[in-house]
Amino acid sequence: MLLAGVDEAGRGPVLGSLVMCGVVIDDALLAKLEVLGVKDSKDLTAKVREELYDRIISVVKEYHVIVVDPVEIDAALDSQTLNLNKLEANKTVEIIESLKPNKIIIDCPDRNLDGYKEYLFKRLEHETELVVQHKAEEHAVVAAASIIAKVIRDRKMKELSEIHGLKFGSGYASDPNTRKFIEEHWDNPNVGHIIRKSWATYKNMKEKKSQTSLSNF
């Protein structure tokens, strides 16, 4: 049986892309993933994630990655028909159709597990057993997907930093380097594509800067 797992990295940051990943493996080989020591990417150091990345790829049958840039995220949140959960679900459908597993375990971003599962079913053409749950990284196949997604997101953030010669930290609003970057570059057209403008962090900074400009007029 082909078993798949889907997870994401970068759902919450104000900077950078959301990276989604699905991996599929013959369930007879699942023990090989478990021997590697895969677990939720958030519980591993960057060094360990990098070390596991190639090992995971060598074990799984196939993997599929989708990178959702800030512009697409903003468009979904500004839409009358989409939100972040539905956007993620639509990308999950793309991953399932690509991997075509017999069974798939999905880390669910929505509180309503049944509603999320029904949303997926209505859009799927490939017949598969769907398991939708919170904290699904307890399953090695989902943990493997989370590690690949996280490594790719971190690499892309590093690449952006090197391209633009700027330091913006992890991309999370709690990071001082990230907040400093937004404060200094919130209206910089050269790096605007990095920022999720639908996030409160950006909107608040824009309002603050705009008010400051008006008071100085």
pLDDT class of 216 with cuts at 50, 70, 90: low
Residues 54 and 120 in one domain: yes
pLDDT class of 48 with cuts at 50, 70, 90: very high
Residues 7 and 111 in one domain: yes
| Each residue's pLDDT tens digit, 26-47 | 999 999 999 999 999 999 999 9
Q: Is residue 216 part of a domain?
A: no
Residues 153 and 170 in one domain: no
Residues 137 and 178 in one domain: no
Residues 95 and 183 in one domain: no
Token output for 151? 């490594």
pLDDT at position 195 is 96
What single-letter DSSP state applies at residue 137? G
Task: Enter the pTM of the model.
Answer: 0.93
What single-letter DSSP state applies at residue 60? S
| Each residue's pLDDT tens digit, 49-96 | 999 999 999 999 999 999 999 999 999 999 999 999 999 999 999 999
pLDDT class of 205 with cuts at 50, 70, 90: confident
pLDDT at position 206 is 87
Token output for 209? 């800067």
Q: In this model, does residue 5 exceed pLDDT 50?
A: yes
Residues 125 and 185 in one domain: no
Please give the tally of structural domains in the chain: 2
Token output for 66? 């989708």
Residues 128 and 177 in one domain: no
Residues 102 and 121 in one domain: yes
CB within 8 Å of 188: residues ≥ 6 apart:
none
Q: Is residue 215 part of a domain?
A: no
Residues 147 and 202 in one domain: no
Q: In this model, does residue 208 exceed pLDDT 90?
A: no
pLDDT at position 215 is 52
Which helix H or strand E contains 62, and what residues bound it?
Answer: strand 62-68
Residues 75 and 137 in one domain: yes
Token output for 111? 């509180």
Residues 153 and 171 in one domain: no
Q: In this model, does residue 214 exceed pLDDT 50?
A: no
Q: Is residue 103 part of a domain?
A: yes
What CATH number should be reported for the domain holding residue 205? 1.10.10
| Each residue's pLDDT tens digit, 88-144 | 999 999 999 999 999 999 999 999 999 999 999 999 999 999 999 999 999 999 999
Range of the domain at 42: 2-160
Task: Give dist(CA 27, CA 131) in Å, integer.
Answer: 15
The per-type count for the chain, helices as H runs and strands as E runs, is 8, 5
Residues 130 and 193 in one domain: no
What CATH number should be reported for the domain holding residue 22? 3.30.420.10
pLDDT class of 212 with cuts at 50, 70, 90: low
